Amino acid sequence: MYILEVNTTFAAAHHLRNYRGRCENLHGHNWRVTARVTAEEPGKEGMVIDFSDLRKAVNLILTELDHTNINEHPYFRTVNPTSENLARFIFDKLNTMIPDCNPEAQVSSVSVEETPGALAIYEPQN
């Protein structure tokens, strides 16, 4: 199994709904996102996916969130913008973009780190 990983960041504000504590107030993070793609074999050019293509796809998704109040994003108007839900949102969007790059590659996980050492990982069960 081949595993490729890219890391990138974005800055955004959010507040948690149905939560009692400091995070129910509007606050921001410099989020770190890690996306992992796997494939049994690389493509004919010897790559699972070009790192540049993977990074572009992740950054395209993050453009929707960067320097915004995440709660105002259409998806997060009803979904609580926790790190867990952000990881799932990015995973689902990225999963629709990867087959365009390499039909053999698949997103295996996305992690979202809101502060150093505090991260959520979304990885579907097979």
Positions marked catalytic: 23, 67, 114
Residue in 118, 113, 120, 122 with CA at minimum distance from that of residue 31:
113
CA distance 62 to 3: 22
- Are 121 and 87 in contact by the 8 Å Cβ rule? The answer is yes
Give all strands (DSSP E) within the chain, no chain letters: 2-14, 27-39, 106-115, 118-122
Q: Helices H, strands E: what count in the chain?
A: 2, 4
Element (H, E) at 87: helix 83-101
Q: In the structure encoding, which two tokens stand for residue 72, read together?
A: 């105002």
